[in-house]
C-alpha cells in the first residue's frame, strides 16, 4: 500500500572495499554478501551527525530493499602481531590495579582476519515517511560525519544518494533504478536485459535475517533483532541491444555459469 505521505530514498553503495558485518566479533570479522540494515542505518545516522548513544527509533521503521548490481569478490585481510621484545602478548584481563595481564598460557603471536567485498556495487532503497526521508537525503548529500560502507576504512565511491522517488513498493522501486554496475561489467552483459539478485524486507517473507540494531552504543554493545525478508530477481535493461546469441564467439556456448559472480 502506498501514499503521498511516504516516499522512497535511493542509495548507491559502491567502493573499492565494503564490509557488512554479521554476528562475527573479535579477531575474525566476516562480511555478508549484501548490505545489512544495521550498516545502512549506521550510514544514515552518521550522515545526520548522531552519536553512538542516540536513539534509532525513528529509523528502525524504514523498510529496506537491496539490489546486487555488481557482487564483487571476497578479500581476506590476514594480519599477525607480536611484541618485538619477545614477551607474551597482553590479554583482555586486568589485575587489581587495572593493568592488563599477560596471556596464560603464553601467546606470542596474535592473528586477525578481516573480510571485505572488492569492487561491489549495490542499490539500496528505503521506504518510509516522506519528511524523514527528505531529511536523510539532505544529510547524505552533506554528511556531518564521514560516510563508510560497513567499516570506517571503507569510504564510498561517488555520490551515495540518487535522490527521492515517489512512493512505491520495494520491488517496484528497485526495478525503476538503472543498472549501476561499472562500465566494464556492463560491457560483459549478454542480451538486452540483465537479471539481478535482490532482497526486500517483507513481513510475509520466508526467511529471517538478524541485522536490526537496538543501539550503536559501545558501552552497552549492540543487540540485533530479526526481520523477515524475501529474495527475488529483478530484470533491468542492460543497455546492450545485441541478442545474447550474437555476443558469444562461434563455437562457444551462450551460457556463462560465472555470470552471477560478476566474472
pLDDT attached to residue 166: 96
Kindly tell me if the per-residue pLDDT of 2 is higher than 70. Answer: no
How many of the other CB atoms lie within 10 Å of CB of 253? 7
Mean pLDDT for all residues in the chain: 89
- β-pairing, 90-94 vs 28-29, is unpaired
Question: What SS3 state is found at 219?
Answer: coil
pLDDT, mean of residues 213-228: 86
Kindly tell me if the per-residue pLDDT of 261 is higher than 80. Answer: no
Is the torsion defined by CA of 138, 141, 143, 148 positive or negative? positive
pLDDT attached to residue 91: 86
pLDDT attached to residue 247: 47
Q: For the chain, what percent of residues have pLDDT higher than 70?
A: 89
Q: What ranges do the domains of the chain cover?
A: 6-74+117-178+197-234
How do residues 126-182 score in pLDDT, each as one tens digit?
A: 999 999 999 999 999 999 999 999 999 999 998 999 999 999 999 999 999 999 999
pLDDT attached to residue 239: 86
Bridge partners of 123?
12, 67
Whether the Cβ atoms of residue 149 and residue 156 lie closer than 8 Å to each other: yes
Taking domain 6-74+117-178+197-234, whether its CATH number is 3.30.70.2660 is answered by: yes
Kindly tell me if the per-residue pLDDT of 256 is higher than 70. Answer: no
pLDDT attached to residue 248: 47
pLDDT confidence tier of residue 92, bands split at 50, 70 and 90: confident
pLDDT, mean of residues 171-199: 94
Of 60-74, 139-153, 204-218, the least confident:
204-218
- β-pairing, 193-201 vs 224-237, is antiparallel
* pTM (predicted TM-score): 0.84
Q: What count of residues does the chain have? A: 263
- Please give the Cα distance from 193 to 184 (Å, whole number): 16
pLDDT attached to residue 228: 96
| Closest to 230 measured CA to CA, from 198, 183, 184, 193 | 198
Amino acid at each position: 500500500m502506498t501514499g503521498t505521505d511516504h516516499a522512497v530514498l535511493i542509495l548507491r553503495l559502491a567502493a573499492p572495499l565494503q564490509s557488512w558485518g554479521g554476528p562475527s566479533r573479535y579477531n575474525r570479522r566476516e562480511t555478508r554478501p549484501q548490505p545489512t540494515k544495521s550498516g545502512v542505518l549506521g550510514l544514515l545516522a552518521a550522515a545526520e551527525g548522531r552519536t553512538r548513544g542516540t536513539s534509532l527509533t525513528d529509523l528502525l521503521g524504514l523498510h529496506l530493499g537491496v539490489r546486487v548490481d555488481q557482487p564483487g569478490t571476497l578479500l581476506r585481510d590476514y594480519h599477525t602481531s607480536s611484541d618485538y621484545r619477545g614477551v607474551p602478548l597482553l590479554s583482555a584481563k586486568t589485575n587489581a590495579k587495572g593493568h592488563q595481564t599477560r596471556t596464560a598460557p603464553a601467546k606470542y603471536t596474535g592473528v586477525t582476519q578481516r573480510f571485505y567485498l572488492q569492487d561491489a556495487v549495490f542499490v539500496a532503497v528505503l521506504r518510509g515517511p516522506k519528511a524523514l526521508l527528505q531529511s536523510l537525503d539532505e544529510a547524505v548529500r552533506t554528511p556531518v560525519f564521514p560516510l563508510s560502507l560497513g567499516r570506517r576504512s571503507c569510504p564510498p565511491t561517488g555520490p551515495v544518494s540518487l535522490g527521492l522517488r515517489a512512493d512505491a513498493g520495494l520491488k517496484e522501486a528497485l526495478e525503476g533504478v538503472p543498472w549501476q554496475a561499472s562500465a566494464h561489467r556492463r560491457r560483459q552483459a549478454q542480451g538486452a536485459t540483465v537479471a539481478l539478485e535482490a532482497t526486500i524486507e517483507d513481513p510475509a517473507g520466508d526467511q529471517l535475517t538478524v541485522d536490526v540494531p537496538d543501539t550503536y552504543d559501545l558501552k552497552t554493545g549492540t543487540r540485533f533483532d530479526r526481520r523477515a525478508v524475501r529474495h527475488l530477481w529483478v530484470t533491468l535493461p542492460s543497455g546492450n541491444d545485441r541478442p545474447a546469441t550474437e555476443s558469444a564467439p562461434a563455437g562457444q556456448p551462450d551460457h556463462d555459469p560465472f555470470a552471477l559472480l560478476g566474472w
